[in-house]
Amino acid sequence: MSDDTRDDDRAAAADEAAAANPAPTAGSRRPQAPVRRLSSRRRFIRSAFLIGGVLGLAMLGYVPVAGAHRSRLRPPGALEEADFLSSCIKCGQCVQVCPVAAIRLDDIDSGFGIGVPSIDARAQACDFSCDAVQCILACPTGSLTYRKPASLATRPGMPLARAPLLKAKAKDAEPTLNLPERIGVARLSRPDSCLAVLGKGFRGQARGAGFRGRLRYVERDRWRPVAVRDHPYDRDLCNLCVSECPIGDAITMLATVAADGSRQHRPQVLEQCVGCGVCEMICPVDPAAIVIDARQPWEG
């Protein structure tokens, strides 16, 4: 026990004695003994430091948010970043329902974003294997939502022109995804290394034998995603970003004839791109030639 505790006990004993023999001026507070006054002042100062310290540490969480150098890809249906961070209750139910485990929870180095879901598309992109966008269904607070309330912010270029067509559902009665807004947009960021631009083909495992990512190959199994390393490719001209894109009319291979008569190819991102990141995941060159600009709007 500390000195303070002993002081408190002693004081409590004194209080008891006083209660047993009420002083003539019952009800009036007795002046504190000097030792007790000192200890209660110490305790007060200590408490002020505790309050300042803990609140200060909690507010440090603003630093990574304000910095925002790392613009993270959020799951489909996510609100605008500020709304997303304020509404996410950090429960991870979206993580639990994702069939390809694309969603991870951020750590304390994200500050206020701790426990908030994000997707590292290069490691495992969202390929909509679940068809119904299960993470949106699972979200209890509306951080991920099919229908954003009118009061919440939307930036131009984020809403999709029309409901995205899910290639895997093309033959279903309802072939579209209930996803009104994109989560980002793909961009051919390194055309110099793009195999298609270089006119090269691709043979083998897209991401090597050690890659753990999975993808739905509808022709193999509609309901069970397959490890990318178990699905080798053999293409005369690499077009993995175009052929594996799960969304209809989101990316196409543009072919042009150059002045010398040779054919030039280049993947072209289209307005229906939702930003799922499958192209970034499947791109066989390292670093990927095509990447997702997370939370960026379509700029035409």
Partner 1 sequence: MSASERLRVMFGAAPLKPERITPAAQQVHKLKRMTKADFEALKQHARDHQLVNHKWRNRRWAVLILVNLLFTFSFWLDIQMLEGSLTASRFVGFHLIDLNSALQVMLAHRHVIVNLFIGTATVFVLWVVLGGRSFCSWVCPYHLVAEWFEWLHLRLVAKKLVSDHQFHRGARSVFWLAFALLAVLSGYTVFETISPTGILSRALIYGPSLALGWVLLLLLFEVLYSRRAWCRYVCPIGLTYGMVGAISPLRVEYRLEHCFHEGDCRKVCMVPHVLDVVIKGRAPDLKTPIGPDCTRCGLCVDVCPSGALVFDIKGLNRLL
Which residues in this chain contact partner 1 in the complex, by CB under 8 A?
Answer: 1-5, 8, 12, 16, 19-20, 43-44, 46-47, 50-51, 54-55, 57-59, 61-62, 65, 82-83, 85-93, 95-97, 105, 107-109, 111-112, 114-115, 138, 140-142, 145, 149, 151-152
Residue 158: CB minimum distance to partner 1, A: 18
Best CA proximity match to 136, nearest among 79, 71, 175, 217: 79
Residue 15: CB minimum distance to partner 1, A: 9
Of 2 and 28, nearer to partner 1 (C-beta) is: 2
DSSP string, 81-124: HHHHHHH-----HHHHH-TT--EEE--GGGGGGTT-EEE-TTTS
Residue 264: CB minimum distance to partner 1, A: 46
> Which residues, 6+ apart, have CB-to-CB distance to 132 below 8 Å?
178
Residue 182: CB minimum distance to partner 1, A: 22
Burial class (CB in 10 A: 0-12, 13-18, 19+), 171: exposed
Of 5 and 32, nearer to partner 1 (C-beta) is: 5
Of 87 and 193, nearer to partner 1 (C-beta) is: 87
Residue 130: CB minimum distance to partner 1, A: 14
> Which residues, 6+ apart, have CB-to-CB distance to 299 below 8 Å?
157, 185
Residue 44: CB minimum distance to partner 1, A: 6
Best CA proximity match to 208, nearest among 193, 192, 230: 230
Of 152 and 163, nearer to partner 1 (C-beta) is: 152
Of 45 and 255, nearer to partner 1 (C-beta) is: 45
Helices (H), the chain: 3-20, 34-59, 62-67, 81-87, 93-97, 134-138, 240-243, 278-282
Q: Residue 181 CB: number of other CB atoms within 10 A?
A: 20
Of 92 and 157, nearer to partner 1 (C-beta) is: 92
